[in-house]
Amino acid sequence: MKYWEIAPEGIAKMQQLEHYVNTASGLEHGLLELVRLRASLLNDCTYCIEMHTAELKKLNETPERIAVAEWRNSQAFTARERAALSWAEAVTNIQDGHAPEAIYDEVRAVFSERETVDLTLAITTINAWNRIAISLGSHAGREVEA
């Protein structure tokens, strides 16, 4: 299904939010890509996994850091990245209930209020893109995220 042609206004709004996160949030590009990859792995979105892995490679990230599924067992991540990855997991798996307060506290220890909201928006948008790609099909050769 060519959903971007069927509902271009809706996809454009998603792209506008993604553009905000990428350009106005002030969050580091590498951190955003790590979070996007972690959420995509949790959601098993092959298209997004490949896209964010490629983006991290362009940023010259090491294989150890690209293996974000193993972040808990790695010393390759900063406290800020670890908090963001933990928050990405909690927000992505929100169906299990509210995000744990301990994880929220961990995020708030290294992110300002604004950064916490923007990080949550980044996680929310990648989860939305994952769900669109998984349910309606990916669209190889067409970039959705702005």
All residues at 6 or more sequence positions from 38 whose CB lies less than 8 Å from its CB, including other chains:
68, 69, 71, 85, 88, 89, 92
Whether 5 shows a pLDDT value over 90: the answer reads: no
Share of the chain above pLDDT 90, in %: 79
Q: Mind listing the pLDDT tens digit for each residue in 14-29? A: 999 999 999 999 999 9
Model confidence, pTM: 0.90
pLDDT of the residue at 78: 96
Whether 146 shows a pLDDT value over 70: the answer reads: no
- Cα 26 to Cα 18, 70, 83, 118, 120: the distances in Å are 13, 26, 17, 9, 13
pLDDT of the residue at 139: 56
Considering the domain delimited by 10-136, tell me its CATH architecture. Up-down Bundle (1.20)
